[in-house]
Amino acid sequence: MSDTVVATEVIRDAVRLACRAPSLHNSQPWRWVADADGLHLFLDPARLMYWADRSGREAVISCGAVLDHLRVALAAAGWEAHVERLPDREDPDHLATVTVTPMESVSEAHRRRADAILLRRTDRLPMAAAPDWESFEPLMRARVEDDVHADILADQLRGELAETSHLTEVLRLYDSSYHAELSWWTAPFDAGEGIPQSALVSAAESERVDVGRNFPVTRGAERRPGIGGDRATIVVLSTDGDDRLDALRSGEAMSAVLLEATMAGLGTCTVTHVTEVASSRGIVGNLIGRAARPQVLIRVGLAPSLEAVPPPTPRRALRDVLRFA
């Protein structure tokens, strides 16, 4: 890659780990191409969702998350990533080119952050309040670049956000195409994509989470009965603009927040349905008091430490997402 020779297996391992990044409905809308000029990240138009993400903004956010995950994976392997975003004006789907240089040393923090990629899960169950938030928040903010705003929703505004979340679902109540698309991505079959049944919640569990997308519900014993209602902190990531670069940067910031929270032993869940509808997205912007465009919300809280860890969600085979030119 560029003037630095990187073993093919290093690239494979880094991309494989990076592709553990979260994406809308686990759609994994990315593809990688490695050549003499670097490792190139492309948006895969074939994996866009028309009814949930008509503009493709959330798909680009997902690609931003996989890009940040790649940097983390490379750092743990001893390589510093240098990213050129949107390098080709003729191809807007060419989101980034990554070149590398060897690092002098790999710290324990580099390794722990890479480990967090494998430990992270999307937790749709109710969570307890994050302990010692005052200590965690500065660590989280330090990982977010200046071109992305990270706002903490005030507790007194939680009810209004919950109403906005409900409003979004009501507006889509009779949108059969949206619900068909959602059902397809949560269908109970074994595959390398989509949301498995083990990652969904029951109706009773869903009712205890006031800010979240309404997925098809599952059946089973009610989990976390000791947590009456979700007490997770709501982090809102927003940008001053709303173009493809803003979405990519938002995804990178989302990845950074998720991994920092995982390293701190906290559970996380991304929330995007309230930014998919213009009216609810505007309300979220008013709640954070910024003339900015909300891109993604993240619930950050504490999950009971003794409960069984759910299995990782499936991922596409490496041969389907990485090509060596």
Could you report the per-residue pLDDT of 33-90, keeping only the tens digit for each?
A: 999 999 999 999 999 999 999 999 999 999 999 999 999 999 999 999 999 999 999 9
What is the pLDDT, as a whole number, of residue 5?
66
- Given a contact cutoff of 8 angstroms between Cβ atoms, the answer to whether 288 and 151 are in contact is yes
Which residues of the chain does CATH 3.40.109.10 include?
A: 8-120+315-324, 133-301
Q: Is 180 exposed, middle or buried (0-12, 13-18, 19+ CB in 10 A)?
A: exposed
Residues 100-121 have a mean pLDDT of 97
Residue 112: count of CB within 10 angstroms of its CB? 14
Class assignment of domain 133-301?
Answer: alpha beta
> Average pLDDT for residues 263-286, to the nearest whole number?
97
Cβ contact 264:139 at 8 Å: yes
Q: What is the DSSP track for 20-81? A: TS--GGG---EEEEEETTEEEEEE-GGG--TTT-TTSHHHHHHHHHHHHHHHHHHHHTTEEE
Q: Provide DSSP, 259-285.
A: HHHHHTT-EEEEE-GGGTSHHHHHHHH
Entry pTM? 0.96
User: What pLDDT does 56 receive?
Assistant: 96
| Residues near 246 by beta carbon (within 8 Å), at least 6 away in sequence | 147, 239, 240, 293, 295
Span 8-120+315-324 CATH architecture: 3-Layer(aba) Sandwich (3.40)
